[in-house]
Amino acid sequence: MVCKVEEELLDLPGLMVSRGLLGRFKCCTEAKLTTARIIYMCGSDTTIIPLSSIRHCQLKKSAFDDYLSINCTDDVYHLKCDIGIDLLYQTLMDTIKHYETYNIIEYSEALGGISRLLNMKDDRKEVLNKLQRDAMADLMSLKQKSKRMLEVALRLQTEERPLSKTFLALQLNEESEAGIPKYDGADVEHIMITLMKGSGIVLLRDLFCAVNRMLLCNFITPQKLLEDVQSLEEKGICKIVDLQGVVAILSKDTVSYFRQIVEAVSKGPITFLEFAEMENIPIHMAEYVLLYAEMEGLVTRDDGLHNVKYYSNPFN
Mean pLDDT confidence for 4-32: 82
Instruction: Please give the full DSSP string across 126-191, using - where no structure is assigned.
Output: HHHHHHHHHHHHHHHHHHHHHHHHHHHHHHH--SSS-HHHHHHHTT-S---GGGSPPP-THHHHHH
pLDDT over 80 (residue 38): yes
pLDDT over 60 (residue 177): no
pLDDT at 111: 43
pLDDT over 60 (residue 92): yes
Amino acid at 112: G
Over the range 189-220, which residues count as b (16 or more CB within 10 Å of their CB) and which as e? bebbeebbeebbbbbbbbbbebbbeebeeeeb
C-alpha 235/C-alpha 124 separation (Å) is 34
* Residue-wise pLDDT tens digits, 50-84: 887 888 888 887 666 788 888 887 788 888 888 88
pLDDT at 304: 64
Q: Say what percent of the chain tops pLDDT 70.
A: 74
The CA radius of gyration of the chain, in Å to the nearest whole number, is 27
More confident position, 177 or 86: 86
Q: Look at residues 120, 102, 124 and name the one whose alpha carbon lies nearest to residue 274.
A: 102
- State the chain's mean pLDDT as an integer: 75
Residue 315 CB neighbour total at 10 angstroms: 5
pLDDT at 166: 57
